[in-house]
Amino acid sequence: MKKLILVLALLSLFACSRNPDVGLEKKTMFTLPYGVLDDELTPLAASKLAMNDGFFYIIDSSLAKMMKFNSYGDLLLLQYNQEKNPTQILVHKSEENTPSNKAAIPFPYQEPSQIAVTDDQAFFVADTLPDEEAMWSDDYSCMLTSTVHCFAPSGKLICDLGQEGRAGAVPFSRISRLETTDNRHLVVHTQTPKGQVIYWFDDNLRLLYSVLADSSILPQDEIADHIVNIDSLTASRTEPLLFIKADLYTENGEDIEFYKSSICCYDLALEKCVWSMDIPVAETLYQLLGVYGKDKIYLVSPVDNDTYNLLILDGQKNISVNTPLAFGHKDIQLLELNLGSHGIITALISYEDEVSAVWWRSDKLLKEEK
């Protein structure tokens, strides 16, 4: 009975601001074949995607390479581990003394895993360190095995980043996400046995904030007597704020029952949560995709094999957008969703014989709302 009352209350809270479902058209920007050549991807590889201003940056972890494409699928920049990649056509072209807008740069990636891009096309890649450079952390009871390579738009290495900033002697634990902000700050998300640790660097890569994002930073009156799972975090693009999505559960005898999901806005400067809001109930829990602007919070929830539901909330607890996000194909093997800097959702979709880079212009829905 209590659960029914909770569901009705949440639906009532959000119903007054619900927009009609209008759907969101998917556009395929380009496709890539599977393989080991310049503009090919390893089948079922752990690929990651970042998009900014129409340029797509794709990591292939298996081949230890980074590829930059324009929106037509033309390969503009290739960084590659020479030991893991064959000599490429683009490599030969880059070595000729002829003008070209394409570049191939050997780089000793070990196992690149995450990527983020600024508005001026500088980019950051999370990578695994060689075994001899890893170290143990007594503070977090884990190995520190990761670094962040910082690159100029040309692909030239600027520096490697550690916990203290440039040339930091202390590596990161496993990096689960990289984000950039509108003022060129970098946010590094790491995983430890004690919880997620977030490092926030300014545009000169100086450490501004670090925080262990565990249940102690959430509003204690809201989580009391509940089991807390911090599902995901994302950074504001305009202010030093973290949006923390948590799922709460209640023990009922031997059973553990879902209670609710909520988002806390944590101010890193004030070191406290400044507001929180509940997330509407869905058949499958919503996942936090990212934040656009100051407080447009993007959430997605799987509906079936080829459709997600997109929910965009704002800091006033209103629903700005509630619409299906269709992929138009049921034979999807892997999906990598990403939120670009201008509110555009992008994805890498792996099918049986190719990978598609697609986007949904969700930013247009927000403009229509104004």
With a pLDDT cut of 70, the percent of the chain lying above it is: 86
What one-character DSSP code corresponds to residue 82?
A: T
- Give 74's strand partners: none
Q: Is the pLDDT of residue 95 over 70?
A: no
Mean pLDDT along residues 60-65? 93
Residue 349's pLDDT is: 87
CA dihedral 183, 186, 187, 190 (to 10 degrees): 180
The residue-averaged pLDDT of 243-264 equals 91
* CA separation, residue 207 to residues 49, 213, 224, 279, 350 (Å): 25, 17, 33, 32, 37
Q: What phi and psi values does residue 280 have, to the nearest 5 degrees?
A: -55, 150
Mean pLDDT, all residues of the chain: 86
- For residues 159-174, average pLDDT: 91
Res 19 pLDDT > 50: no
> Which pLDDT value is given to residue 368?
55
Banded pLDDT at 8 (limits 50, 70, 90): very low
- Of the pLDDT bands very low, low, confident and very high (cuts 50, 70, 90), residue 10 is very low
pLDDT tens column, 98-111: 555 688 999 999 99
Domain residues for the domain of 253 are 2-369
Spell out the alpha helix ranges (H) of 41-155: 89-95
- The model's pTM is 0.89
CATH classification at residue 348:
2.120.10.30
pLDDT band of 25, cuts 50, 70, 90: confident
Residue with tokens 């930059």: 68
Contact 88, 38 (CB under 8 A): yes
CB atoms within 10 A of CB 32: 23
pLDDT reported for residue 6: 38
User: Sorting pLDDT into bands at 50, 70 and 90, what band is 20?
Assistant: very low
Distance CA(195)–CA(187), nearest Å, equals 16
Domain count, the chain: 1
Region 326-336 average pLDDT: 71
C-alpha span between 143 and 173 (Å, rounded): 6
**pLDDT: which is higher, 193 or 369:** 193
Closest CA to 278 of 6, 16, 21, 17: 6
Radius of gyration of the chain (CA): 21
Q: What's the pLDDT score for residue 39?
A: 87
Q: Residues with Cβ < 8 Å from 161, sequence gap 6 or more?
A: 124, 147, 148, 149, 150, 168, 186, 188, 201, 205
- Which tens digit of pLDDT belongs to each residue from 183-236? 999 999 999 999 999 999 999 999 999 999 999 999 998 888 899 999 899 999
Phi (first) and psi of residue 367, to 5 degrees: -70, -35
Q: Which residue has the higher pLDDT, 350 or 59?
A: 59
pLDDT in tens, 287-317: 999 998 878 899 999 887 778 899 999 877 7
Whole-angstrom distance, CA of residue 349 vs CA of residue 361: 17
The predicted-structure confidence for 125-137, as pLDDT tens digits, reads as follows: 999 999 999 999 9
Q: Does 167 have pLDDT greater than 90?
A: no
